Chain A
Amino acid sequence: MPVFERGYLELREDERPGRPSWTVLPQEEWASWLRNRKLLILWFVCIVPHLVLLVRTFMALALVGLDGGPARGRGPSPAFLGDPESMAFYAKTLLEDSLLPVLVFLAATAIRTVSLDRKSGALELYFTRPLSPWRYILGRWTGAAMAAASVTALPVLLVWLTGALAAPDWGFLKETLWIPGRILLQGAFFASVLGICAAALSSMSSSVRTGQILWVGFLAVMHLVFSGGLRRFLHEEWPAQFSPWAILQRVGEAILGVDPEVPLSLSWCAALSLLLVVLSLLVLRRNLKPLEVVG
């Protein structure tokens, strides 16, 4: 009998609901992003620095294969290509070139999520299911962190993996086996702090545009003003600690084991990162209070 003629059907015993899981949220969020063709194009644009890194990896490996490099004065210099066997080769893409991709990609994804949930009334639908506000936060945090990781650490890991597979011998793998672990750790750190900050800013308004403006102000404007302008103008290092990106950069450099760009105190930057996470969690929780509907 066709389903529309059967009326209301009860669930069979083996189909009964199990324990609800918050992981459904990031899964659905990612499925919706993958269905969005414009977003996929934007992601490709955002990983251009990583594609450049990939080309440099191939060229550097090709030079190694040329037994001492190309003839003098011909082809790219090894100094320009860098050394794919050193962490410094990957660090620049991870810590400096990622700012713009993170800014743009999260503004198009994670920053929209909670705002739209508030605007559409979906929060009420979530909280009338067996989902607590903290599980909702965890789900949204994970989704945003995955978005951040997809334009920072994950493509760099793929570049390293491609290099390892394309290398002429096992020497590359032996020399660089320690690199992916650190990239993964730095990626997890960046993604989790940026993810929760993005989710918190998104929860501050039901307008997506307001959330995006807040995000740009939080990440880009503060970085330009404090770490760029004021630091150089005053010839002092302390203004950099007011830029969230500079703080993350400093901790990221320590995780990757490269020389710091901005000589801020590592423990101070780690504490500030933790403070950002805690504040973001509190802001999110506060903004997710059930709506007070009198009826």
Chain B
Amino acid sequence: MSPKVVEIRDLTVKYGSFTAVEGVSFSLGKGTFGLLGRNGAGKTTILRALLGLVRPSGGSLRVLGLDAASDPLAVRARVGYLPEGQVFFPGMTGFQAVAFAGRLSGLSRRVARKRAHEMLYFAGLGEARYRPMEGYSTGMLQRVKLAMALVHDPPLLFLDEPTNGLDPAGRKQMLERVRDLASAKGKTLILSSHILSDVEAVCDEALLLHEGRVLERGLLGELTSAAPSVREVLAAGEESSLRAALEEQGISVLRVERAGPFLKFRVGLPPGAGGREIFLAVSKGGGVVRSLVEARRSLEEVFGETVGGEV
């Protein structure tokens, strides 16, 4: 069993009379984790509490074996944090800001400058690194913030909404790089996002947060797997006849949607039935099965089902 990288027990954080996080407990080993929830769910508060920026009203937090409440500076020295929002060092270029962040983390001037170049290239910011940060777009700022989070080569990364403000190509690139950090370089990564597809693209495990509480936790595969008797059938044919033939076999049609020239059925099998019954029913309805797979739920569906309402 891998040692715990993050351990939270009964964490409660209050801002005045408002409770932002209540009774949250979880522990994480090495890997990639997603904190998933709507705005105001408590994701940022948990990250800030782990960095010792927010004093918890109750509970305990340990990061890399260190107590985050009593030894926050040691925790921050070992963690790279990409904060949410438009934050930057005023009056500096991207390059100066990353080098400065490195020096604040204890790097020597020479190493900080060398490292700033390397990390800005890695983050995908080219010659723009010599321009003042005041003129940066949100996407460019995100890249600089990623470089700042990585400049001191921390083993643990907290990324708070890392794809905010990035165009689709930039978003894909950012997620690929983040994923690469975990898979190729062995970094442990906690990604907080309200964009479910970002978490799906990067993380192995996710925590669903709602109104300051953990609703569900699990491997993404487990979270998104549907009931074992549910299948997804891609078929060619007439919708009404196929539906009638399936129902005649005792197979319940849960959902039908068009997928290009085909129909995508989500069906529930009766006890004892299998793929054979589906093939027979579709054939009887005058159609052809193009594919048959075990159904999976998207994270959106999981979230919607757990929390209720729109995601």
Q: In whole angstroms, what is the CA distance A4 to B147 when docked?
A: 13
Asked whether, in the complex, the Cβ of A127 is within 8 Å of the Cβ of B153, the reply is: no
List the B side residues contacting A293 at CB < 8 Å.
44-45, 48, 84
- The smallest beta-carbon distance between B250 and chain A, in angstroms, is 48
Asked whether, in the complex, the Cβ of B87 is within 8 Å of the Cβ of A20, the reply is: no
A120 within 8 A of B: yes
Asked whether, in the complex, the Cβ of B83 is within 8 Å of the Cβ of A116, the reply is: no
List the A side residues contacting B152 at CB < 8 Å.
11, 17
B276 within 8 A of A: no
If the complex has contacts A294-B45, A295-B42, are A130 and B88 also in contact, measured as CB distance less than 8 A? no
Asked whether, in the complex, the Cβ of B44 is within 8 Å of the Cβ of A122, the reply is: no
Question: Could you mark each residue 271-304 of chain B with 1 if its beta carbon is under 8 Å from any beta carbon of chain A, else 0?
Answer: 0000000000000000000000000000000000
Closest chain A residue to B212 by CB distance?
A294
Asked whether, in the complex, the Cβ of B105 is within 8 Å of the Cβ of A130, the reply is: yes
Asked whether, in the complex, the Cβ of A11 is within 8 Å of the Cβ of B83, the reply is: no
A10 within 8 A of B: yes
A267 within 8 A of B: no
Closest chain B residue to A4 by CB distance?
B121
Task: Report the contact-size class of chain B (Cβ under 8 Å from the partner).
Answer: 35 or more
B103 within 8 A of A: yes
Q: How many inter-chain residue pairs (CB < 8 Å) link A and B?
A: 125
Asked whether, in the complex, the Cβ of A3 is within 8 Å of the Cβ of B15, the reply is: no
A18 within 8 A of B: yes
List the A side residues contacting B89 at CB < 8 Å.
120, 122, 125
List the B side residues contacting A290 at CB < 8 Å.
48, 53-54
Asked whether, in the complex, the Cβ of A132 is within 8 Å of the Cβ of B73, the reply is: yes
List the A side residues contacting B43 at CB < 8 Å.
295
Task: Report the contact-size class of chain A (Cβ under 8 Å from the partner).
Answer: 35 or more
Asked whether, in the complex, the Cβ of A294 is within 8 Å of the Cβ of B106, the reply is: no
Asked whether, in the complex, the Cβ of B106 is within 8 Å of the Cβ of A17, the reply is: yes
Asked whether, in the complex, the Cβ of B40 is within 8 Å of the Cβ of A295, the reply is: yes
List the A side residues contacting B84 at CB < 8 Å.
293, 295
Q: In whole angstroms, what is the CA distance A104 to B124 when docked?
A: 41
Closest chain B residue to A27 by CB distance?
B103
List the B side residues contacting A125 at CB < 8 Å.
83, 87-89, 101, 148
Closest chain A residue to B43 by CB distance?
A295
A261 within 8 A of B: no
List the B side residues contacting A122 at CB < 8 Å.
87-90
List the B side residues contacting A4 at CB < 8 Å.
121, 126
List the B side residues contacting A274 at CB < 8 Å.
none
Closest chain B residue to A118 by CB distance?
B90
B185 within 8 A of A: yes
Asked whether, in the complex, the Cβ of B91 is within 8 Å of the Cβ of A32, the reply is: yes
List the B side residues contacting A11 at CB < 8 Å.
111, 115, 152-153
Give B contacts to A, CB under 8 Å: 15, 18, 20, 39-45, 48, 51, 53-54, 73-74, 76-77, 81, 83-92, 100-108, 111, 115, 117-118, 121-122, 126, 148, 150, 152-153, 160, 177, 180-181, 184-185
Task: Show 27 residue pairs from A and B whose CB-CB distance is below 8 angstroms, ordered by the A residue.
Answer: A3-B117, A4-B121, A8-B122, A8-B184, A9-B118, A11-B111, A15-B115, A17-B107, A24-B103, A24-B104, A121-B85, A122-B89, A125-B89, A127-B53, A128-B53, A128-B81, A129-B76, A129-B101, A130-B73, A130-B74, A130-B77, A130-B106, A131-B76, A132-B73, A293-B48, A294-B44, A295-B44
